[in-house]
Amino acid sequence: MDATTLTLAQAAQALNAREISAQELTRAYLERIEALNPALNAFITLDAERAMEAAAAADTRLGQASATPLTGIPLAIKDLFCTQNLRTTCGSAMLANFLPPYESTVTARLKAAGAVVLGKTNMDEFAMGSSNETSFFGPVRNPWAYDRTPGGSSGGSATAMAAGLCAGALGTDTGGSIRQPAAMTGITGLKPTYGRVSRFGMIAFASSLDQAGPMTRTVEDAALLLQEMAGFDPKDATSINEPVPDYHAALGRDLKGLRIGMPAEYFGEGLGQESRTAIEAAMEVYRSLGAHIHPISLPMTRHAIPTYYIIAPAEASSNLARYDGIRFGHRCADPKDLKDLYCRTRAEGFGAEVKRRIMLGTYVLSSGYYDAYYRKAQQVRRLIAEDFSRAFREHDLGVILTPTAPETAFKLGEKNADPVSMYLSDIYTINVNLAGLPGISLPCGFDAKGLPIGFQLIGRPLDEATILATGHAYQLATQWHKARPEGKS
């Protein structure tokens, strides 16, 4: 049995049945990483020694009352979650040698559940990018086609998951950074409701938009991971103090009578024909399961890109001000004075895309421009959220179904000279973050080049259970999520 082909749920069953040990499972993944990562560049830092120690502890724990469905499960962690005494770089030269003195709440919860951390995955620098090409540690490659991007910013986690380098992975989603790479690599990616999962110990990009979530092979696996990740955290002022339902138990819901919204604005000229055909086929699957598809309108959609690219850079410029060469992180050599220290440290430590967004954010927050740009963007953000609320209420919708990305994985370097074209990669995902809603991307087919296509389900606030159940029903009726990169699985 090749243990690395198992889903997370299957691996948990095999561990509990003693068909395989946690140490054997972890070793299999570490060997696969050693073989494939030099070409894929999915991992920045491996933690093999401590991973094997954690696996040994999991073997002792398995069969005891304290074991959970994640006990002994090897995971990959996006490299912006602080992990105590394990290098956390955020894909940047600024933090290339940073060893956090504390653990993020999410990784602490997963470790407490018995999960095994294999290492930290590559990402766009400070999560700013849609192709995983802005990383200081080089681009990640899509396992379906090595000359193409896996999407971003959670491209390392997406590639690790798609290539079978882990049983589950963590990503973060600020404007689509879990869902867009999930679509481009043929995996499942869930962005929970803002505040459902603690942000404590997550290195911030845009604080009002960032949210952690699971990246997995199946919806069932995503439900198992989210179960341990979700919940109130007093260390996080944005954490929502609401009960966490049993996500796995909710997967068996009948879809008969479920009303699914299809917004016209998401199916316009920007959507490729192959993606449109695959998503329309997914709608037919839902009709066969008893769901009803309802055309709806979300007219504020057209304002998503400009709104996001005012709010996100503004918050980034504030969050990244702390990287000044004094307290932690990169520091330039032999500064002449304080101004030289600041200027050269930040010039050397940040890449071009991060600098671009800091400058844009600083501009829209500056005196004389705050009201015209940042305040106006926040007002439009409220209208976008009301757009979704009205659609769910007036049409009595359970979920909304849209494309995840306008196209399949594009070639590395193809859009580097055109930032606006790169930003449009997230056109179907950004609104979900602006409105604080949960969203999940599922694989639903392939284009003529053999590249994965994904679609997105959007839910009501805190209703991850419904989008998980809706996605799980689709995966029970289809086989797309079982596909592996040919010759590389």
Residue 415 annotated among the catalytic residues of the structure: no
From 104, 130, 131, 153, active-site residue: 153
User: Is 66 in the active site?
Assistant: no
Sign of the four-CA dihedral 290, 295, 299, 302: positive
Among residues 177, 239, 317, 441, which one is catalytic? 177
Residue with tokens 């193809």: 414
In degrees, rounded to 5, the angle at the alpha carbon of residue 140 between the alpha carbons of residues 433 and 308 is: 20
Exactly one of 78, 111, 120, 191 is catalytic; which is it?
78
Tell me whether residue 120 is one of the annotated catalytic residues: no
Which residues have a catalytic role annotated? 78, 153, 177
